[in-house]
Amino acid sequence: MPTALITGITGQDGHHLTKFLLSKGYEVAGLVNGQRNSREDSFSHLFPDVSLVQGDLTDFSSLLQIVHDIQPDEIYNLGAISFVGLSFKQPELTANVTGLGALRLLEAVRKAGGEKSIRFYQASSSEMFGKVRETPQNELTPFHPRSPYGVAKTFAHYTCVNYREAYDMHISSGILFNHEGEYRGHEFVTRKITSNVARIKLGLQARFSLGDLTPQRDWGYAGDYVEAMWMMLQQDSPGDYVCATGISHTVLDLVEYTFSKLDLDWKSHVTQDPKFLRPEELDHLKGDPSRLKSETGWNPDYTFETMLDEMIDYWLSYYSGK
């Protein structure tokens, strides 16, 4: 039975990846910082057989001990300050957790991994492309991050490349474009829209506010993307892979589809508020997943529309008490 260690296990991708790895027969352990919260409690309720170990991406000694004790076959580094808007307000914390956290974990693997060849997955991000040089973006597209989050992810990404080349470690990075699902945090726009529309449909509220509706993103389903993470680590040789659908939509497309799905007119329920605008916005992210598909055989099951259907149905059920 292989063992996997997941950082950021209580987040959206951690939920989906845990479910996927358990279905593959893995023993799963997750890193938590020891500050018991509702997210950790709900995760333990869903996955009672998963071992949660206390540690922190900002504390090297804890990471060293955890890797030494668990000796995992695979590590998935999903832990990060992952909300881009927050990274502008807390740039130092973002750099420390999202950027240096990956460095600390890699050092822990190098020093405490022993004779075992631990395979390491790094959650890189399309936010690294930032002010894009070409569309669609692929593995050779230059990075130009436009947020502290994107800068921290770029540091972590290149640190992984360096450790892979310098120490011959099996490290793969998935440059994941936006991916969503029923476990998405409340601060993300897909969760905000789908949950609020469900509440409006059920008569629980009348309106909500959004920022810019023009940015274009390549949105996929998180359940598909965690399978891609696993497939990357099953390759004989490590590498970097863009994980995306290859199709982009605007935030307005997302709004229009979600409201029309529930027979509502979005213009009667949505206002725009400048406080939700980023200091630096990304215009058009669209990924080219050709390498991932050709080398691993990955292909997403969900479309933009079926991903949103999944989220809408989840929130309708949640708010109606079913």
pLDDT of residue 249: 96
Question: Count of H helices and E strands in the chain?
Answer: 12, 13
Whether residue 28 is found in the same domain as residue 109: yes
Is residue 20 located within the same domain as residue 75? yes
Under DSSP, the state recorded for 143 is P
Of all residues in the chain, what percent carry a pLDDT higher than 90? 84
Determine the Cα–Cα distance for residues 119 and 31; give it in Å rounded to an integer: 17
- Kindly report the CATH number assigned to the domain that includes residue 255: 3.90.25.10
Residues 93 and 194 occupy one common structural domain: no
pLDDT tens-digit map of 47-61: 999 999 999 999 999
Annotated catalytic sites, by residue?
125, 127, 149
Is residue 198 domain-shared with residue 224, that is, in the same domain? no
255 occurs within a structural domain: yes
Give the mean pLDDT of 288-310: 97
Contacts of residue 290, Cβ cutoff 8 Å, sequence gap at least 6: 138
Based on the fold, state whether residues 25 and 37 are members of the same structural domain.
yes
Within this chain, do residues 133 and 269 fall inside the same structural domain, yes or no?
no
Q: What is the pLDDT of residues 260-291, one digit of tens each?
A: 999 999 999 999 887 776 665 566 899 999 99
Q: Which residue has the tokens 């071992």?
A: 51
pLDDT mean over 178-189: 89
**Do residues 149 and 7 both lie within one domain?**
yes
Based on the structure, what is the number of domains in the chain? Answer: 2
Phi first, then psi: what are they for 242, rounded to 5°? -75, 130
pLDDT at 280: 59
Based on the fold, state whether residues 136 and 157 are members of the same structural domain: yes
Angstrom distance (rounded) from CA 310 to CA 316: 10
**Does 100 score more than 70 pLDDT?**
yes
> Are residues 43 and 109 both part of a single domain?
yes
CA distances from 191 to 140, 153, 194, 236, 309 (A): 31, 23, 5, 37, 12
Given this model, what pLDDT does residue 274 score? Answer: 77
Q: Is residue 98 part of a domain?
A: yes
Domain that includes residue 71, residue range: 3-179+220-243
Domain presence at residue 264? yes
**CATH classification of the domain holding 229:** 3.40.50.720
Is 290 contained in some domain? no
For residues 102 and 211, membership in a common domain is answered with: no
Note whether 52 and 40 are within 8 A (CB): yes
Residue 242 pLDDT greater than 70, yes or no: yes
Whether residue 296 lies inside any domain: the answer is no
Question: Does the structure show a pLDDT above 90 at 35?
Answer: no
Higher pLDDT, 76 or 33: 76
For range 203-213, the mean pLDDT: 93
User: Mean pLDDT score of the chain, rounded to an integer?
Assistant: 94
Average pLDDT value for residue range 134-138: 96
Residue 34 counted as domain residue: yes
pLDDT of res. 282:
64
Q: Which of 37-41, 44-48, 90-94, 221-225 has the lowest mean pLDDT?
A: 37-41
Note the pLDDT of residue 114. Answer: 66
Query: Which of 24-33, 54-63, 93-102, 179-188 shows the lowest mean pLDDT across its residues?
Result: 179-188
What's the confidence (pLDDT) of residue 186?
81
Percentage of the chain exceeding pLDDT 70: 96
